[in-house]
Structure 1
Amino acid sequence: MRSFASLTQHVWGLFTSERQPGWKKLLQLFAVCCTASFISSSFLFLGLYSSLTNFPLVTLAIVASVWIALSIALFSSKCVRCFAALFVLSCGLREGRNALLTAGTGIVAAGHIQSIFHNIKVLADSITCNIEAEHFALIKHYVEAIQWIYNQLKFSNNPFKDIVSLSDEFNTFYIISDEGFKLRLNTTKQQIQSVTSYISSILAIQPYISQRLLPLMGFILIVLGTYLFIRKFVSTQSAKFKNIYITKRFIEFDEQQKNQQKPSVLPLNKKERKVYLTIPSLSLTQKEKKNIGCFFLPVFTNLCIWALFAAIDYMLYWLIFSVSKHLQELPEMEVHLKVYYQKNEDNFIINKGKVIQNNFHLKIPLFKHDCSPKPEFSLLSTWIQIGVITFFLIIFGLFSSILVQLKVLVSSSFYPNIEMTRIHYLHSKLLRYREKPPQKNVKRKFNSFAQTLQFWFPIFKAMGTIRKKEKDMINENKV
């Protein structure tokens, strides 16, 4: 275990220092840089392989090029090594949180928003399909009844068949003036088709955005955040930037001051321990607790928005599914048509013939089963990915203070001179704070005085003064 710790310390010392002369040192540094770049390229390969599944050779070429270029860059410059180390730590901080939230928004857009528009389109298509499939069965049966009456009359006996012969011709047809209805239906279909085409064009771009553009935006956010952190750390005002941590070198400096009979600041008092923290440590200051709360606030907001889209998607799915189920269970409308006439065989004027009737039975469906909508709901596939993102966001939020401590320690390892400047500033700041005389707490005295009854009712104070004077006068008279 000690050998592993010493090896890790030696590797970290090589990684954080400038290039030293000697081919052994250079070879060791190059091996460390190649290993670090290989690990980074492996994660890049996993990300590109999910986006470029159809182009594995392109993915391998990109990853190999990045590995070679990153190895050379890490070996050449200490600033690049510092940037790479801070970039890895920034993936778990606010920049990484923003990247994960961006990816989660893309997943919700790909899943629920696309499903919402798809279900609306399915509902519109079902309505137009059912209207188009509506047939006029009742009118057709009325025509059949009239044709049946004609056939019965045609084959009836002719009372003057010895004198004249009768010939007739009977044609039936019907016209339904539904041109306006058809025009409105076609206009509605064209409007639905245009809106569907517009939404489909937008949703066709969405997978490209969620799989390629959003990860790129997240990467840019992390790079920008890392650059701003390094810029603040190495600036002229770096002594005030996140300088609330007591590091190992600070403790050594304070012991050195104590050995030289100079004022020291360790150990910290109770009030100072609430502001300044010895790192690495799992304990949190009040400010760090507030920072963790601020870290989780956008996470909670985005989760609520994602859950709202999921609820809308599910409610629309459930509404379409339940309505479709009830419409399919509706019984068909039954229509009974009874047609009859009296047949006179021998009498021409007196109507006492035989009654002949025919029953027409037809069923008209209220809803066409072929036009029933079939909605979709992709809860499982979407929220498995959202669950993974939420898990990492929770982990990053809980360990965000530790990652900030590690960023400060890593930056101090790469820039020891700036670390000493920060140590001197913090040490002198603590000494100045302790040398200040305790100020009178005027506000507390005012609050204690404001709690008395005489403050709010001065008349009681005046009455008390008068009584005291009266008692003094009585005592003087007695004397």
Structure 2
Amino acid sequence: MISKGLNDLRILAVDVFTSGNREGFKRTAILLLICAFPSLLLSVLLLLYLLYTLTCDLGVSGGIAAIHGVLLTLALFLSQRVRCLFTLFVISIFTKKSRSLLLTAGTSVVVLGNIHNTLENLTGLVRSMICNLRAKKASVIAPFRNYVDMLKWLADILQGVTDLGVFNLDSQLKISPKVDLEHFRERLAQAELKLNQSVKYAVTFINSVSSVKEGVYPVISVLALMIFITLHVRKYCRDMKYKNNFISKKFIDFDKKQKAEGKQHVLPLTSEEEKLYPSLPSLRPTAQEGKALLKFGIPIVSHLVAWVIFITVDALLYCFVAIITTKLSEMESFHVPLLLSLKGIATLIGVHLGEENHHKDFSYSVTLFEKQCLPKPKLLLHNSIVPLAAILLTLLVMAPVAAKLVQIRLMVCERFYCTEAEERIKYLHAKILRKRLKKRREKESSNSLTLLISKPHFWCPLLFPEEVNTT
């Protein structure tokens, strides 16, 4: 009993929504509820889009979403054409146009996300090199200071050795290390400035493209989809040949009516005609639907390969920079041993007076890469893999359904445009009859020609004169 009531309610709701007959409070209330539910759902989605994508204020976003919900509910409630376009719009999410939109969105996610991350990793690597060169300015002078100290120490030792008491050899060693770093600093500053300009330009370009994609692309996509749907409805109503090759339930009823009135009928169809005119709806997959499914899946596979390449390049660059960082951080400092030992022997007229040993350590260490300048790569795969997984899952759901959506769209138009559907049924019925008549005439002509050729008088009319019927 409950299932029967629910089924009756479903039939009534479909009839009210498609016909627009609002006679009575019950039918008006049902139509209003049906129109309000999708409007509310779309208004919530619009509110989230304005808040989190376009970062609008809560008051502005709520006002726009509320106005949109009210206007859409009124339009659906008052106009049968709007209800048809809206239904086809929802259905068209599973069509090739929506597939193209999803693939474009996936490509935008991969290209913008991974290229942005790759650019940051490359920039960090170059910045670390500049930082290391800047840090090496001090370490370049350190070895020279050690050599200067060593020479000064030798000078002091030699000064003590040459002091013989009789005369004093006074030698002064003045050494001042000077390394010209101005040119080095200037080149580093130019390299860093050029790097910052390039990064700023690239980041600005990526952010601009991302902003346009997030703000304008959904609007353009919706407008393009609505234009496609409007053209589809227009062709359905005005062009009798447009996708008019399906045998629907209304066609069967019309043919039965023709048969009952003693007029020509076409059902049942021949095996050849069944291939040309499939039933609507048809759950059994046909060869044409298999080809459509294959055509639907080829762009998905090609885009998936491109996405994997972009993500792989980003991941490989991350691994490359991470390995370099690890190896450089584990590398020990280079120790340069510089030990100086002097042995002095004092003699006077061949007599050994004493012996002095002097030792000094001037060793120093040099690091290949400064610890504070090591690059720190980033790998933000979740920024691209999560939305890509959602897009691929949607495409996988769409793939088996896409082949049947042509039939579904035609069924929707048939429900909303009954007059045009009847005209299309009459046109298809007459078309099948014309084809049968043409085929019958061709067959009769072929049979008569075959019969004529088989007679002897056709080949030898003098020997075998044609018999004339005198009756």
Match in the other structure for 2:154:
149
Match in the other structure for 1:186:
189
CA distance in 2 between counterparts of 1:322 and 1:6 reads 68
Q: 1:198 aligns with which of 192, 201, 204?
A: 201
Match in the other structure for 2:425:
423
The question of 1:73 aligning with 2:89 is answered no
Judge conservation of contact 1:245–1:278 (CA < 8 Å) in 2: yes
CA distance in 1 between counterparts of 2:323 and 2:337 reads 31
Q: 1:224 aligns with which of 209, 217, 227?
A: 227
The question of 1:234 aligning with 2:237 is answered yes
SS at 1:91's partner residue? Answer: helix
Letter of the structure 1 residue corresponding to residue 430 of structure 2: S
Match in the other structure for 2:360:
358
Letter of the structure 2 residue corresponding to residue 69 of structure 1: L
Match in the other structure for 1:107:
109
Alignment of 1:321-336 (within 5 A): 321-336=322-337
Regions of 4+ moved over 6 Å: 163-168, 348-352
List runs of 5+ in structure 2 lacking aligned partners.
444-471
Letter of the structure 2 residue corresponding to residue 300 of structure 1: V
* Cα distance change, pair 182–350 in 1 and its aligned pair in 2 (3 A): farther
Judge conservation of contact 2:337–2:363 (CA < 8 Å) in 1: yes
Judge conservation of contact 2:255–2:267 (CA < 8 Å) in 1: yes
Letter of the structure 2 residue corresponding to residue 148 of structure 1: W
- Cα deviation digits, residues 14-59 of structure 1 (max 9, x gap): 1122455556644543343223422332343444444256633333
Match in the other structure for 2:464:
none
Match in the other structure for 2:16:
14
Letter of the structure 2 residue corresponding to residue 71 of structure 1: T
Match in the other structure for 1:463:
none
Shift of 1:170: 4.9
SS at 2:365's partner residue? Answer: strand
Judge conservation of contact 2:289–2:404 (CA < 8 Å) in 1: no
* Cα distance change, pair 411–132 in 1 and its aligned pair in 2 (3 A): same
CA distance in 2 between counterparts of 1:350 and 1:231 reads 125
List runs of 5+ in structure 1 lacking aligned partners.
441-479
For the aligned residue pairs, the C-alpha RMSD in angstroms reads 2.8
SS at 2:97's partner residue? Answer: helix
- Cα deviation digits, residues 82-102 of structure 1 (max 9, x gap): 111111111111222222122
- Cα deviation digits, residues 127-174 of structure 1 (max 9, x gap): 1112222222322221221232234456668432xx778877654321
* Cα distance change, pair 53–177 in 1 and its aligned pair in 2 (3 A): closer
Judge conservation of contact 1:343–1:353 (CA < 8 Å) in 2: yes
Letter of the structure 2 residue corresponding to residue 66 of structure 1: H
CA distance in 2 between counterparts of 1:132 and 1:41 reads 56
Judge conservation of contact 1:159–1:348 (CA < 8 Å) in 2: no
Letter of the structure 1 residue corresponding to residue 180 of structure 2: S
Compute the TM-score of the two structures, normalised by the length of structure 1: 0.83
- Cα deviation digits, residues 268-301 of structure 1 (max 9, x gap): 3332332322122222333332222222232222
Structure 1 vs Structure 2: percent identity of aligned residues?
A: 29
The question of 1:139 aligning with 2:140 is answered no
SS at 1:436's partner residue? Answer: helix
SS at 2:360's partner residue? Answer: strand
CA distance in 1 between counterparts of 2:423 and 2:43 reads 36
Judge conservation of contact 2:147–2:362 (CA < 8 Å) in 1: no
CA distance in 2 between counterparts of 1:171 and 1:104 reads 70
Judge conservation of contact 2:54–2:214 (CA < 8 Å) in 1: no
CA distance in 2 between counterparts of 1:223 and 1:347 reads 113
Shift of 1:70: 0.7
CA distance in 2 between counterparts of 1:55 and 1:346 reads 97
Shift of 1:232: 1.4
Match in the other structure for 1:412:
414
Compute the TM-score of the two structures, normalised by the length of structure 2: 0.84
Match in the other structure for 1:212:
215
CA distance in 1 between counterparts of 2:34 and 2:19 reads 12
